[in-house]
């Protein structure tokens, strides 16, 4: 047993770390001594976060690219292993929610894109990271699901399906590797103020997603609140927690 602050020297990969929940997680891991690989499709966000980590005396590397492609995934894992000499934590956090389309209106292209980025990418990263974690004897994977993973959601069919799939990926990987030192968990954030909530409106009435969250949960969370849960689940303080889905939603899912 040790406490959550025990990330000294550990190699940590955070996807979608150029913004929002991923950025807050990357900064928190770095402040706890981790070496952090910032992976994002957005070069400006990724570089800014890496610079912020280094300005605070930490170690960071960036890989910029679309994580739904095997080539980017391989670059992420190789860079972490070669630069840090360690890959102890993988946070599958990158995601998109830029459409809210209902089932009958989902195009093939939208389905493919949302599933690839929100579900296939975490699978590809998990598959690529596992051999390195198995070789070091342990590892922790944390997936960012969503309140949309816990029930039918107005967030759109493809997004809701992908996030439910994240729970399946979390639980099946947790069960299959629990005898080999690998823990796999997920967080299910409710409304959290990030680029997603600042840019998405509901189709039709143009209502803001922040307004909806405000109504349903009383308040919109800060990205740091989701990051705190991610870091806890990745830490040795969660040493007997695997296959869990932790809502971070001010009780929304309890209603």
**Residue corresponding to tokens 């299910």:** 188
What residue has token string 């099946």?
A: 172
Q: Which stretch binds ligand NAD (CB under 6 A): 79-87, 127-135, 144-152, 171-179?
A: 144-152
194 binds ligand NAD (CB under 6 A): yes
What is the separation of C-alpha 40 from the centre of its chain, rounded to a whole number of angstroms?
11
Position 247 contacts ligand NAD (CB under 6 A): no
CA separation, residue 8 to residues 36, 58, 84 (Å): 11, 10, 12
CA distance 25 to 23: 5
Q: How far is the CB of 24 from ligand NAD (least distance, A)?
A: 8
Residue 159 is a catalytic residue: yes
Smallest distance from the beta carbon of 80 to ligand NAD, in angstroms? 15
CA distances (Å), 54 to each of 9, 12, 30, 38, 189, in order?
14, 15, 9, 12, 28
Is 189 one of the binding residues for ligand NAD (CB under 6 A)? yes
| The one segment of 27-35, 95-103, 126-134, 170-178 that binds ligand NAD by CB under 6 A | 95-103
Is residue 126 part of the contact set for ligand NAD (CB under 6 A)? Answer: no
Contact 28, 231 (CB under 8 A): yes
| Contact string (CB under 6 A) for ligand NAD, positions 6-45, x = contact | ----------x-xxxxx-----------------xxx--x
Active site members: 159
């Amino acid at each position: 047993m040790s406490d959550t602050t025990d990330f000294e020297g550990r190699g940590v990969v955070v996807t979608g770390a150029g913004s929002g929940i991923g950025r807050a997680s990357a900064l928190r891991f770095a402040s706890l001594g981790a070496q952090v690989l910032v992976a994002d499709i957005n070069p400006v966000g990724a570089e800014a976060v890496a610079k912020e980590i280094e300005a605070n005396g930490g170690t960071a590397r960036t890989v910029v690219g679309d994580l739904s492609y095997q080539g980017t995934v391989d670059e992420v894992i190789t860079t972490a292993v070669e630069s840090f000499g360690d890959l102890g934590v993988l946070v599958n956090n990158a995601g998109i929610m830029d459409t809210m389309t209902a089932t009958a209106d989902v195009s093939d292209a939208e389905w493919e894109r949302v599933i690839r980025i929100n579900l296939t990418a975490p699978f590809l990263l998990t598959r690529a990271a596992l051999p390195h974690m198995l070789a070091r004897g342990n590892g922790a994977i944390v997936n960012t699901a969503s309140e949309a993973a816990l029930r039918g959601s107005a967030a759109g069919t493809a997004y809701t399906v992908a996030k439910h799939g994240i729970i399946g990926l979390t639980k099946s990987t947790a069960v299959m590797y629990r005898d080999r030192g690998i823990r796999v968990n997920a967080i299910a954030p409710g409304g959290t103020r990030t680029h997603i909530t600042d840019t998405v409106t509901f189709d039709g009435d143009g209502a803001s997603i922040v307004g909806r969250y405000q109504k349903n949960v009383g308040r919109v969370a800060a990205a740091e609140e989701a990051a705190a849960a991610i870091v806890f689940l990745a830490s040795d303080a969660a040493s007997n927690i695997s296959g869990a889905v932790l809502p971070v939603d001010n009780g929304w899912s309890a209603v």
